[in-house]
Each structure stands twice: as structure tokens, then as C-alpha cells.
Structure 1
Amino acid sequence: PRIVEGIYGNNDKGGLGDLIQQLQPTEMNKVNISDSDMSILHQGFYQVAHGTSGLTTGRAFSNGALVSISGKTGTAESYVADGQQATNTNAVAYAPSDNPQIAVAVVFPHNTNLTNGVGPSIARDIINLYQKYHPMN
């Protein structure tokens, strides 16, 4: 697993540009989990993006995706200095669902529209861009 493979610039159209710096990954920790427990986690992440329940929170991960994406959404409530509540929305995703090669995390601080799926949409767009330049399946 890698946090970052490389740092890229952007091109004149705002897309992925040239590699600026290649990074060598360092595995810092490993979670010891059984294959059956890991399978349950994978199924849950897949259902967040592809489920048919009205409670499916991450349909934006899969709508328009170029490759199968699995993910998880969440919120974290906090309070700012003036005592007002602020909500951070979070989305984590990996792709392809059956053989993960990329993982993305998006944090949208102080989000006022909790129904817009912005985190999953951003994660999907990043994965689509990666798929375009580094085909994964």
C-alpha cells in the first residue's frame, strides 16, 4: 500500500500533467484481519456505491465511473470558535473494486449541503482521471 506514488503538476487544461517527483512508499503499519472479515468490509464498501437501498449514501461514487469504485461516506460534526456547529463531510474510495490499485480520501470542511454527494463525486472524478492516464482494467 502507498499513500502517494508521485507528485504531478497540471497541464494547461487543468488536467494531470507531468510527474514532478517519484516517491518510494514505506509501509508503516499493517492491520491483522481475517480474510472473511476483510471480505465483509469489501462488500460493505461496494454496497455504499452500488447498493439499491434508499439508505445508500455513495451512489455518486459509481454514477459516471469509468471503473468499479467502492467507498464510504461520513460526517464529523464540530464547533467553531463562535459556538456554531460545522459539519465536515468525508469520502474514501478505492478502485477497481475487485483489485484495488488506487485509494482516494476527500474531506469537505464546513459543508452546508449534506445531500449533494460532493465528496463521492470528487473522489470519482479523481479516480476517472487516474483511469484515463493509468488504465486499471
Structure 2
Amino acid sequence: MFSEIITPRFSDTDALGHIGNTAIPIWFEGARNPIFKILSPKLDLQRWPLILAKTEIEFHAQLFYGEDIEVKTYLSKVGNTSFHVYQEIWQQDQKCASGTAIMVYFCYETQKSKPIPDEMRSKLNEHLYQA
């Protein structure tokens, strides 16, 4: 599991005074960086090996300005050419949002998925979610 603490910005709030739902996917994407580094250690955009195929987010409770949040990032499935990233957002010891992103290991030249190398797959498997 990877963990990141984020301090919500005032601009993350909405007219109702809580964190707007558009902040959550941005926080989730930022917290996927440690996984990106497994597959592209230098985060070289000229040789980027991933595409995002799908995201889903479920909201469990409101999030508020003035309190840090923790994003927990796991892998829930590692396949041959893709993997599922499972993430949770916690604030004040309460799970407030969860979501899954499906990432595909991809060759931009051929426009096709390709097998995740065994060494990288092994490193991804170290972060599998344990319920």
C-alpha cells in the first residue's frame, strides 16, 4: 500500500462548503505516482507505457476543508496487460471515498496493449489489497 497526506485547498470546496466531487479523481490520480514509477521509473513521458481505461468512484461521506485527508493506494488485480488500482480517501478516521482505475500497459507505436514485464508485475503484486 502507498499512502499520501493531502491538505485540501480552499479552491477544492464547493458552494455547499465541503470538498467538491471533482477534487477526488485529481487526488486519486496524483496518488498513483508511486505505481507509475514502478512501470516508468523516470516518469519519462516520451516513453510512457500506460493508458487509463476506466475509473469508478464511490462517495461514502462528505469531505471538509481544514482537515487533512489520506489517500491509500493499492493494487486489487494484476493481469497480463493491465492492472486495477484500488484507492480510498480517509478523513478523521472515516473512509469518505473509494475508487478503482484500470490501467493498461500500452505501446503507443503499435496502439496495442502489451504484456507487463515479469519484474514489474512482481513489484506491482507487492501492493495487492488485503481485505
What TM-score do the two structures reach when normalised by structure 1?
0.27
Bigger Rg over Cα: 1
Bigger proportion of residues as strand: 2
What TM-score do the two structures reach when normalised by structure 2?
0.28
Q: Which has the higher contact order (CA 8 A, sep 6+)?
A: 2
